[in-house]
């Protein structure tokens, strides 16, 4: 176990630039920045350690590989439980 506890939060969300390239929503970059910022704020408000993996630091060729590697990375830090969230749930509550 690490000194921070046993549970961490993994925010798995692409950068706004990458989301815009994949989703093509008008003014999407601004929207995706807002969604990611709000998600990270909510995650940090839990008091749990938070790790953010975007396309800039994800490792792997497929979504599954990148997601699995991100989760494994958090477990390798000594956590025994990982809560994974994306930036696409704006109604997510900290509780």
Q: Where are the domains of the chain?
A: 7-85
Token pair, residue 91, equals 């109604």
**pLDDT confidence of residue 51:** 97
Cα–chain center distance at 61: 18
pLDDT single digits (tens) 3-62 = 567 999 999 987 656 655 566 677 777 788 888 899 999 999 999 999 999 888 889 998
Q: What is the dihedral of CA 44, 38, 90, 75, to 10 degrees?
A: -40
DSSP secondary-structure letter at 2?
B
What average pLDDT does range 50-75 have in this prediction?
92
Contact 69, 60 (CB under 8 A): yes
Query: What's the CA gap between 20 and 17, in Å, rounded?
Result: 5
- pLDDT band per the 50, 70, 90 thresholds, residue 89: confident
Query: What's the CA gap between 34 and 39, in Å, rounded?
Result: 9
**pLDDT confidence of residue 3:** 55
């Amino acid at each position: 176990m690490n000194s921070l506890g046993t549970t961490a939060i993994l925010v798995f969300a692409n950068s706004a630039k990458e989301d815009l390239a994949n989703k093509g929503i008008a003014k999407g970059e601004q929207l995706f920045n807002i969604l990611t910022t709000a998600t990270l704020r909510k995650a940090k408000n839990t008091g749990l350690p938070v790790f953010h993996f975007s396309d800039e630091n994800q490792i792997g060729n497929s979504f599954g590989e990148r997601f699995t590697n991100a989760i494994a990375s958090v477990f390798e830090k000594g956590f025994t439980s990982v809560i994974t969230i994306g930036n696409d749930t704006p109604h997510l509550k900290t509780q």
